Structure 1
Amino acid sequence: MEIGKINTLKVLRETDIAYLLTDGESEVFLHKKEAKKPYLDNEELEVFLYTDNQGRITASTAIPFIQLDEVKRLEVVGIRHRYGVFLNIGIVKDLLLSLDDLPEDLNKWPQVGDFVFVKMIVKHDKLFAHIIGRKQLTDYFPDKEPLLENQVVNANVMYLLEHGLVCFTESFHEIFVHRNNFRKKYRIGETVNPKIIKQSSIDEYTATLIEQKEIMLEKDALFILNYLEEHSGIMPYTDKTSPEIISEIFHMSKSSFKRAIGSLYKAKKIKLDKEKTILNK
């Protein structure tokens, strides 16, 4: 018998609450709640073996989403800070992703409803989920349809790095997002929608998590800052200036100008007056 895998076992006998199964050497229980129908003695069954909460090997007729040494994308269904996070694998018992695999900062842990890419392993005679290295994860699924530039994809954050983050699509495309290309803090397992910038290698893409409106706002704000610096830090234009003058001077719409001004004001780069905008020194 091997835990974490589908085993072919025979029904040895029936008890009040379970069927006793055997491979000819060892015996395990299949609880009647797990039985798909009444079974006869010597009937062969395909069952998945796992350890229950008491550490006993137990059988399930359900086919799990993942088996030993496989890598899958699994949903987080529970969190216990003393142990880690629990993942749904399609049987009555969830799979534990130990806190040993997770960051010390609890804010970076996956939350219920997030998805993580893990490998099922055996440790201390029990089944666990394990986060493997990013290149190992990529290598598990070498044949993937290529992603296109400017394509927006659904992915989950898996690795938090000093210079950015790495996320994976359901098809196991590896996507790197540089820290300059996102605005907020992310956690492992969080669902994101990166926009592909380019393919940087055979198996890796670079992307951005900044929406196009944010990118334009950044450029517009920089343009206005440069204008202020070139005009002694003062300009006679505000959010009350006519659209025609704004378009002539700054080559942008009135709404873009107002967003840029608002961004600069929030960043404490400028002071706003009724008839002029002043650069903070």
Structure 2
Amino acid sequence: MNIGKTQLLKIAEKNYSGLFLEDAEGERAFLPKIFASEDAEIGDEMEVFVYQDDDKLKATTEKPNAEVGEFAIMTCVQSLPTGAFMDWGIIKDLFVPYKQQKAKIIEGKRYLVYVYVDEFLDLITGTTRYKRNPHYENLPLQRGEKVHLMVAGESELGWNVVINKQYIGLIYTSDVYKKLFPLSEEVGFIKSIREDGKIDVSLQPEGYENIDEFQKIILDKLEINYGLLYLSDQSTPEEIKDELQMSKKNFKKAIGGLYRDKKIEILEDKIKLIAEA
């Protein structure tokens, strides 16, 4: 039985309160009646999430915000001296022990939580203490790959982020071209993966092959601004960043391509959209 994971289990027994589901080794988890289909029959397979409740294995058809080995943004529903209970999307709350809290968790607030199985207690547990990727060999990520990001917080070098709910990465300050906020969700791109497992991430794709995205941003902004955009080669990186959330380097590449395609005019202090005939 894969504790803390969604899996296919077979119905082995039915009673008035629910179903007993079984894996290939004969281990069982109980699915309460509220999650069971009325037409479920013994021998049928069901996709369920398996968790622990009072030292017993239970199953649910609900989808947790994070499974074991994943991060999710969760709201604290109760804070006690011994730890905090977090809403992670299923009927039973996730417990984060006091010793696993980076800072005291406060009821009603949202936190980035990592879900794991405590090796001593053998219980599904949450933590807000994390420093690096627990497994960094053969990461299933490629340079340039588009990924989902959850912003963890700011550091001396930039912003720490969680990639695809599983891996910790860093966006260097020099690669930040828009305002970021802790616990916000963004789209990013893998910039590099180092031998020690550290992952560098960018908010924008690199290279001319991705310039279409930047050109679209500029054209959309020109449409909104009645065909004029008061940015040019002479504009500062900060001005371009504030207006378009892109680097000056990518801005110059994009307007160069738009100029060659005769979609814009480049004037001394602005660019102008060329009306189609």
TM-score by length of 1: 0.49
Give the greater-gyration-radius structure (CA).
Answer: 1
What TM-score, normalized by structure 2, do the two folds share?
A: 0.50
